[in-house]
C-alpha cells in the first residue's frame, strides 16, 4: 500500500511588508485542500523563510509581496536556500 503524502508548505509575507490578507486567504485554501501549512506571518526575511522551509522539510514556499521588490527578494531566498542545502 502506498501512503499519500501531505504537502508541507511554508507561507509568509516578505520583509517590510505587512499586507498579509492575500497570504492568509492562500493559506486557508491550501489547508482546505489538505496541505499542512507552516505560516510564518508577515515581515519575514528571505533567510528566515529559507531556514524554516529547510527545517520543516517543506515541498513548497508561498510568499506574498505587495511592496514590489519580489524579484530581488526571490534571488535572496534562493541564495539562502542554497546555503542551507
Quote the percentage of the chain above a pLDDT of 70. Answer: 91
Give residue for cell 541564495: 79
In CATH terms, 8-84 corresponds, of 3.40.50.150, 3.10.450.40, 3.40.50.2300, 3.40.50.280, to 3.40.50.280
The pLDDT tens digits of the residues spanning 2-37 come to 455 789 999 998 877 777 888 899 999 999 999 999
Strand residue runs (E) in the chain: 8-13, 36-39, 60-64
Q: What is the pTM of this model?
A: 0.81
Confidence at residue 2, expressed as pLDDT on a 0 to 100 scale: 46
Domain boundaries, the chain: 8-84
What span, in angstroms and rounded, lies between the C-alpha atoms of 51 and 85? Answer: 10
Mean pLDDT (the chain, rounded): 86
- Rg of the chain's alpha carbons, rounded to an integer? 13
Amino acid at each position: 500500500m502506498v501512503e499519500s503524502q501531505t504537502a508541507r508548505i511554508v507561507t509568509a509575507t516578505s520583509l517590510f511588508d505587512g499586507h498579509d490578507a492575500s497570504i492568509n486567504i492562500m493559506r486557508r485554501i491550501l489547508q482546505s485542500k489538505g496541505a499542512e501549512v507552516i505560516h510564518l506571518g508577515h515581515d519575514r526575511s528571505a533567510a528566515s523563510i529559507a531556514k524554516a522551509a529547510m527545517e520543516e522539510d517543506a515541498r513548497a514556499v508561498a510568499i506574498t509581496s505587495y511592496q514590489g521588490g519580489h524579484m530581488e527578494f526571490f534571488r535572496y531566498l534562493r541564495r539562502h536556500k542554497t546555503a542551507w542545502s
